[in-house]
Structure 1
């Protein structure tokens, strides 16, 4: 072996290690800038979400719903949704926290979104309440009063129905398979990359884009009511 080759190999390994370290540090800092989510907001949480990236599914496919559509627990609640105008927001590459990086709503619209959630919880007080999010762990979530009486989706996340992310105004909601397909195809949201991958995350757990105007706020209202309708339904005869 040529005497310089071991030194060359060592130099290449050192350079690769340094480059990987720089990438990891920058990626970690960018991940932390998204704010808190359902994982520890430290290096451990970053390592977990980095592993999740290797298992993430296609957020825009609806093929996963074909087998479930029409089964007893698939009860569509949405009518004909309008198609959302413009491109979808850019989504950060980390599955947790699941956040968008542009198309943020203004302060006024954020307040209207909060008011919409509050009014909807009040209107469904016999079914849902606010409770600390099972998935996000830091934020309040619309949650079933009695998830144990519900179907599989209701039981998976201790009855969590929907929540708002304070950092960007986006939301997560759980829908019936038919409604999830409609939401994605009409451009109002996308699947969580770990939906149907992690055992307690239903495959209809969707990321819903925040409203940019009054018309889109009205659509979000429809989505939230559909999510509550799905999650509060009693199990079908074959569940």
Structure 2
């Protein structure tokens, strides 16, 4: 490299830096289109996730993006105690990689490994079947978290002392199915069950669990086939059993 070229290669970056520092308006105008493009892409991604507990508009996007600042990791199990009952039969390890989740914490959705419509319907049907099986202690109504869609709750006439603390704190909502991706949000009252679900690869905590949600608040990945539908159904049933602290309450017990 000639002496002249060497001089300019060292001189130009410093000169440009001083120029941009002194001409912030120019720099802002230069970067604004790129920034707007990135923000629009992020908003489009948020909107594509479907309806949730925050408005599906720029206000909801701003809320969700702000919550990103207080999110936590979702895969460790150190916060769960090692003792206590288990209501879930030991799970097999889930095959393959975990699905990719949305950048936004609300709504928490998976964006890969999406199942077919009939598999999603099968998960929704499983929720109905579990409600029918535990009809004396559960009810179905609109999700308190999602503000749409059906969710499974512990009935209001079940005394608080008969319901796990985690479920009491989630307004007694035990589970709801996301119709857009087939995943499930569920409160696993048993810490042993929480560990098994996360460690075997069937789900993870909500990124706001331990912040504004209970640490037992989990996302269960959408099943990819009919065998996995049965596993998810078992997880849902165990969540109900854990919520009321027994395998299957005697009809009329809470009346």
Change (3 A) 1:13 1:214: same
- Alpha-carbon distance in 1 for matches of 2:241, 2:82: 16
Task: Report the RMSD for the aligned CA atoms in angstroms.
Answer: 1.9
- Alignment partner of 1:138: what SS? coil
Q: Select the structure of larger CA radius of gyration.
A: 2
TM-score (norm 1): 0.88
Change (3 A) 1:183 1:10: same
Establish whether residue 95 from structure 1 lines up as the match of residue 105 from structure 2.
Answer: yes
- Alpha-carbon distance in 2 for matches of 1:52, 1:134: 19
Find the counterpart in structure 1 of residue 216 from structure 2: 204
Structure 1, 149-158 or 163-172: larger mean CA deviation:
149-158
Find the counterpart in structure 2 of residue 42 from structure 1: 57
Change (3 A) 1:211 1:5: closer
Find the counterpart in structure 1 of residue 181 from structure 2: 168
Equivalent residue pairs, number: 226
Q: CA deviation at 1:81?
A: 0.6
Q: CA deviation at 1:214?
A: 2.1
Structure 1: gaps of 5 or more residues: 235-239
Find the counterpart in structure 1 of residue 196 from structure 2: 182
Structure 2: gaps of 5 or more residues: 1-14, 247-255
TM-score (norm 2): 0.83
- Alpha-carbon distance in 2 for matches of 1:14, 1:232: 59
Correspondence for 2:232 among 213, 220, 223: 220
- Alpha-carbon distance in 2 for matches of 1:31, 1:110: 21
Change (3 A) 1:4 1:96: closer
